[in-house]
Structure 1
Amino acid sequence: MPKLLFKAVLLFLLAGCAASKKAKFDDYVFKTKSEKQAYIDSYNQTLKLWDLPYTEENIQTAYGTAHVIVTGLKNGKDLVLLHGMDASSSMWYPNIKALSKKHRIYAIDFIIEPGKSTLTSKSHSSEEIVLLYNEIFNHYKLKKFDIIGASRGGWIATLLATQNNNSIDKIVLLSPAQTFKFIDKVRKTSSALMLKLFPNEKKFEKTLQTFSTHPEKISTVYKKQFYLANKYAKSNSSMFKMRPFSDTELQSITNPVLILIGDRDVINSEESLERAKKFLIHSQTKTISDAGHFLSIDQSKIVNNAMIDFLE
């Protein structure tokens, strides 16, 4: 099937799936209270893997309640963490201790995905995403802060950096999705899309093997939470609204930027890094050996060291 047609069919299926399921309670991400509670219980179990003090805070925004986990050095430089699709802020468990030694961390659950944030408005255009995060940044009075974004979180971090008068300092992008180029390995990534449509454990395991070179390193506790995110949360087609940034948009980013991808990543390739180097004025790029799209888990020590060296 031609690539564009394949994408169009999937978009149609996803959109139809989302439209056919009406919420049984006031939550645009989960279908029932019991499903949401099961997910939250699993989320809480994963947070125990952080193994350091943290606080959980709920910030009221124009689009709903944003859940933020705050941890790290109280007087350290502010660092915002934006997770990957359906991964939630708990995904940072292999990285959080290393990052928190010299930073005050704000890990934000994306409001339109599984997590502890609660969406009350269905709109989520690029402009509204920017407004949402700026509300959170203003709440914490964040100025000259660093930001790390993984996968879709990397796309959001890039979107925020293209805005005039933003308060971001350094940026780390971990295999940012749809940021420098469209996904060119559509067939390999189709397992994730099929998982959203017809979730079961077999498809889930196949997806992990596609996106990770070392799925055995993924905590069984977190694996359960990630599976429930795919099993219970409503499918949405918001990923199809993500488009690679134009040359002009990328050139407008003057921040220091570090881009890391795995050598076996199914989302990005060396072409992504070449475009980043060409249009991001102050960029550094690195390919992590023996790592896939989940490089922060596949090679957590190497990735942690690279991020810390860059941020410091």
Structure 2
Amino acid sequence: MKKENIPNILGKLNCSLVPKSYAMRTFMLLTFLVLQMGCVNKYEKYKKVPEYITGATGLNAAYYKAYDETLKLWDVSYEELYIPTTNGTAHVIVSGPRNSEPLVLLHGMNASSTMWYPNIESLSKDHLVFAVDFILEPGKSHLSNDIESVEEVIGWYKEVLTALELDSYHLIGASRGGWLAMKLALSNQEKIKSLVLLSPAQTFTWIKPSMDLFKNIATLFSSKEKQIAQSLESMSSDVANISDVYLNQYKLGLEQDSENKFITSMKPFSDEELKSLQMPVLVLIGDEDVINEEGTVDKANMLAKGEGKIIENAGHFLSIDQAETVNKKMDAFLNQ
């Protein structure tokens, strides 16, 4: 609480409905401050940086350093939380006004929460944002007990959100995070106020063969550098637009030991499941998206509260390719 805000608070308390006595005004001010401090310190117990990060060596140390460098691209203040769960430690980045509606972000495959660097300023303007690192992929979350099924993955997310004390929240998922967001939404409808899916993988339609996918397969026998270069070329409409700082972290993450588990479990959801969605849903895909096609948008528009749109000059990484456009559409949807 800044000192300059206290006179404003006292001014608000000084109205006809509030007793003018100094004692009463002081009591109410102290009550307000206690409530504010309670909010500020709500997650204090999760702020201690765990030893797997402070004592990291080799590739892990290099990756965590690169992760922190990418966080410097965030144009807003943030705090990092390390939440103990049944399966290990969940790393969550928190940004935005404390008294705003919560918004949860699920990143794409191998991307980590730092992928939101072009979007976080817009998203955290009117929302308290929680970006969660998926525990089975590169990031700052740490797996200690293995996860054996998709149902356990969703259970893990619910455990994290319970620890954050989120009674209701908006949810955004990108690519694989979009599929996971849909899975979470279907089993948690009473808590999710709205759902935004950015190029969701295998969510509405199957991924169909394309020249870009064949090129990715063809480079499997090439060097790791060529594989990454081809993958980025197929996923982004403008690779040069991606921050070199983020790319360095992304590439280091791909060198870590991590399993892309449950890929075969990612099947499109049935029409019955999709029609059961009760919250407003926004689906955005790029016009050069290798993962989705117009069928995704068509299905989104058939939902009871669904809206699907195609973003021009954008690939699968549309939140980076056309960040300004995507930010405006997400902001308008979340605040409607």
TM-score interval for Structure 1 and Structure 2 normalised by the shorter chain: 0.7 to 0.9
Cα shift at 1:234: 3.2
Correspondence for 2:291 among 267, 278, 288: 267
Structure 1 residues 210-247: Cα deviation after superposition (integer angstroms, max 9, x where no partner): 10001111000001111112223334343222111111
CA distance in 2, matches of 1:198, 1:121: 34
Q: Does 1:311 align with 2:311?
A: no
Per-residue CA distance 1:35-89 (angstroms, 9 max, x = gap): 2221111111100000321110011111111100011111111000110000000
Match of 1:241 in 2: 265
Q: Comparing 200-209 with 286-295, which one deviates more in the overlay? A: 200-209
Per the TM alignment, residue 164 of structure 1 is displaced from its structure 2 partner at its CA by: 5.0
Residue 94 of structure 2 corresponds to: 70
3-state SS, counterpart of residue 73 of structure 2:
helix
| RMSD (Å), alpha carbons | 2.1
Which residue is equivalent to 1:185?
209
Structure-2 change in CA distance of 1:239 and 1:191 (3 Å):
farther
Point out which structure has higher relative CO (alpha carbons under 8 A, 6+ apart): 1
Rate the CA distance shift 1:192–1:61 in 2: closer, same or farther, 3 A.
farther
Q: Is the 8 A contact 1:72 1:100 kept in 2?
A: yes
Is 1:162 matched with 2:183? no
Q: TM-score, normalised on structure 1?
A: 0.85
Q: Which residue of 1 aligns with 2:169?
A: 145
| 1:160-196 alpha-carbon deviations (Å, 9 max, x no partner) | 1111554110111000001011110355235557778
Q: In the superposition, relative to structure 1, how do residues 271 and 81 fare at CA in structure 2: closer, same or farther (>3 Å)?
A: same
Count of residue pairs the alignment pairs up? 282
Distance 2:172 2:132 in 1: 11
Name the structure 2 match of 1:231: 255
After superposition, the Cα gap between the structure-2 partners of 1:141 and 1:198, relative to the gap in structure 1 and judged at 3 Å, is farther
Q: CA deviation at 1:249?
A: 1.3
Contact 1:83 1:152 in 2 (8 A): yes
User: What does residue 113 of structure 2 align with?
Assistant: 89
Evaluate the alpha carbon distance shift between residue 44 and residue 125 of structure 1 in structure 2; reply closer, same or farther with a 3 A threshold: same
Residue matched to 1:282: 305
Please tell me the residue identity of whatever aligns with 2:74.
W
**How far, CA to CA, are the matches of 1:43 and 1:61 in structure 2?**
22
Is contact 1:82-1:89 (8 Å) kept? Answer: yes
Whether the aligned pair in 2 keeps the contact of 1:195 and 1:230 (CA below 8 Å) is no
The 1:206/1:162 distance shift into structure 2, 3 A limit, reads same
Mapped partners of 2:198, 2:216: distance in 1: 18
Give the structure 2 partner of residue 297 of structure 1: 320
Say if 2:82 and 2:89, in contact at 8 Å, map to a contact too. yes
Q: Is the 8 A contact 1:196 1:235 kept in 2?
A: no
Gap change, CA 1:190 and 1:84, over 3 Å in 2: farther
Cα gap change, 1:97/1:299 in structure 2, threshold over 3 Å: closer, same or farther?
A: same
Residue correspondence of structure 1 range 114-153 to structure 2 within 5 A: 114-153=138-177
Contact 2:137–2:259 (8 Å) recurs in 1: no
Unaligned regions of 5+ residues in structure 1, if any?
1-26
Conserved? CA contact 2:219–2:230, under 8 Å:
no
The alpha-carbon distance between structure 1 residues 124 and 186, as it changes in their structure 2 partners (threshold 3 A), is: farther
Contact 1:53 1:71 in 2 (8 A): yes
Q: Which letter does structure 1 place at the counterpart of 2:152?
A: E
Identity, % of aligned positions: 46
8 Å CA contact 2:202–2:268 kept in 1: the answer is: yes
| Larger radius of gyration between Structure 1 and Structure 2 | 2
- Contact 2:220 2:227 survives alignment (8 Å): no
Could you tell me which of 18, 26, 43 is aligned with 2:67? 43
Deviations 1:239-289, CA, capped at 9 Å, x for gaps: 2221111112111111100000000000000011112223x2210111000
State the one-letter code of the partner of 1:43: Y
Query: Whole-Å Cα distance in 1 between the matches of residues 172 and 183 of structure 2?
Result: 13
Aligned amino acid, residue 291 of structure 1: A
Residue aligned with 1:50, SS: coil
Contact (CA 8 Å) 1:57, 1:69: kept in 2 or not?
A: yes
Residues in 2 aligned to 1:125 and 1:99: alpha-carbon distance in whole angstroms: 31
| Alpha carbons 1:197, 1:235 under 8 Å: kept | no
* Worse-matched range after superposition: 183-192 or 118-127: 183-192
Q: Deviations over 1:281-302 (max 9, x none)?
A: 2101110000000000000000
Question: 1:13 — aligned with what?
Answer: none
Q: Distance in 2 between matches of 1:138 and 1:196?
A: 41
Q: Give TM-score, length-normalised by structure 2.
A: 0.79
